[in-house]
A and B are shown apart, each in its own frame.
Chain A
Amino acid sequence: MTRRYDLPLIKDALSQFQYALTAILTVLLLWAVTAFFLAKDQANIWTQGLDNTLTIEVPAINDNGEVIETEQHTEHKEQTLALLHRKGYISSITEIKEEELKQLVAPWLGDGDFEKIVPYPAFIRITLKSSDKSNINDLENALEEISETIKLRSHKEWMGQLLSLTNTAMLIASIAIALLFFVIGISIAFAVKARMEMLKGDVEILHLMGAPASYIAKQFQRQTFLTGMRGSFVGFFIGFVSALIVIKFIMPGSVEGLHIAYLDTVRIVILAALPITISFLSAIIARVTAFRIMMRLP
């Protein structure tokens, strides 16, 4: 080390406060970023794959609530299946079996022969080769020719609500991230102010000896940088480990279908950049604050 420092690198209550606060805020920051990633992944999972999956409902009741003749219903179904097989843009066709349907509705209706009273509609699940809008339009028109009662349901419709949920989560996470950076900045500025107040006499002596503001600011910058670095790396470690534990062991069990945020290189870089950013942010804020205070000396 060639550079020497005149002001003490004290491990006083103040630097411990800055250290602890930085660590805690870094943990929160890491959680907020993880939450953002999670919400984004969930949105992707919900939109991916489901885009191309559609369900066709051939109802047994027409729009006026009257039961359609069984022969006619069967005919609608046969015609629909034949139509689907003709269309080249459909990659898979799965007819949902009546037993399957019965099982699905059993919890609500019991296992009586309710189809005598309310016949079951037929459901056909299909997957498109691509989510081309023109294919969907074509299919809709073709189905309408068979019967106006047949409905094509895209999963995207009801997905919309879930997506607005994840979008809200992402927005909240972003606001939390911005707020946390702001709070980190404010707390550092006050720590530097308080430290300069404590070392007022020493600062004044250096000033009277003709030390430029940059010379004095550098000394506070170093202390603040080191404290900020220690705090943010400890916070990073705690935050990372705790986020992993929560995601891996607690969340999947309690929330069905929620997926683990995956970490690619970009995300690892973003996460690793957090403590580094906080360290340098600390140094910059310390410098600016020190300069501002120095400017008040004669």
Chain B
Amino acid sequence: MIKFEHVGLRYGIGPEVLKDVSFELSAGSFHFLTGPSGAGKTSLMRLMYLGKKPTRGLINIFGQNINSASRKVLTQSRQKIGTVFQDFRLIQHLNAFDNIALPLRIKGQNEKEIKSNVDELMHWVGLEDCAKALPSTLSGGQQQRVAIARAIIAKPKLLLADEPTGNLDERIGHRLMTLFEKLNQMGTTIVIATHSESIMETYKHPRMILSNHTLHISDSASPYNSSEGAL
């Protein structure tokens, strides 16, 4: 699904933020990405959601080498990736409903289906009363849920979430984690960047740990063993 080989990334002429990162994630896996602030979690996510090309090394996503992939292939690959940005990046002049509907509109789904899909998901994430609200009128936690809903609405093959539960109270945080677990059980590959020990403790998934600009994977935890407790 995703394969990084000796990947390095630097911004402009700055130092390498990521050095020699190699790993492979299989389809249907669920990983936490953790590490101290500034370690490069968001930067690694950025490479995975194809928002940046690496300065060195090879990245292979969905069986395509992205260094040599055509624009069309990259566009198609991006449609299979759902991303929750750390800073949400909602479109400010679109209301919650339209923000969530974006990936479906890009795919060209008809408005009737979009309406029922978005309404259902908004209900699920507890935003049923916010459909017409502009992002600027929503709380941080509500905006985060809009961002999450937007990332998962089109049933992506790969879900990348950067601190998706940072602004949420524990009840909603767990509810969303349950949603992620469900998506994962249905086959979505998931990577969640988080600082939260409690989340990583509760949902035992392997951790990708970033430190000193490089990555190692700790496989100690086994998946799916305590998610029921959260419900």
Residues of chain B touching chain A, judged by Cβ–Cβ distance below 8 Å, are 49-53, 71-72, 74-81, 83, 89, 91, 93-94, 98, 102-103, 105-106, 111
Contact = CB atoms under 8 A, between A and B. Distances in A.
Interface string A111-129: 0000000000000000000
Contact of B106 (A8, A204, A209): A209
A160 interface: no
Contact of B75 (A202, A210, A295): A210
Interface string A5-37: 010100000000000000000000000000000
25 contacts: A2-B111, A6-B98, A202-B91, A205-B89, A205-B102, A206-B102, A206-B106, A207-B78, A208-B49, A208-B50, A209-B78, A209-B79, A209-B103, A209-B106, A210-B75, A210-B76, A210-B78, A210-B79, A210-B106, A211-B106, A212-B72, A212-B75, A215-B106, A298-B51, A298-B74
A205 B91 contact: yes
Interface of A: 2, 4, 6, 8, 201-202, 204-213, 215, 295, 298
A249 to B, nearest CB: 49
Contact of A201 (B78, B80, B89, B94): B89
Contacts of A210: 75-81, 103, 106
Q: Among B77, B80, B98, B106, which residue has the most Cβ atoms of chain A within 10 A? A: B106
Nearest to A216: B106
Nearest to B83: A208
B101 to A, nearest CB: 8
A195 to B, nearest CB: 13
Given A201-B89, A210-B77, A6 B50 contact: no
A201 B52 CA distance: 15
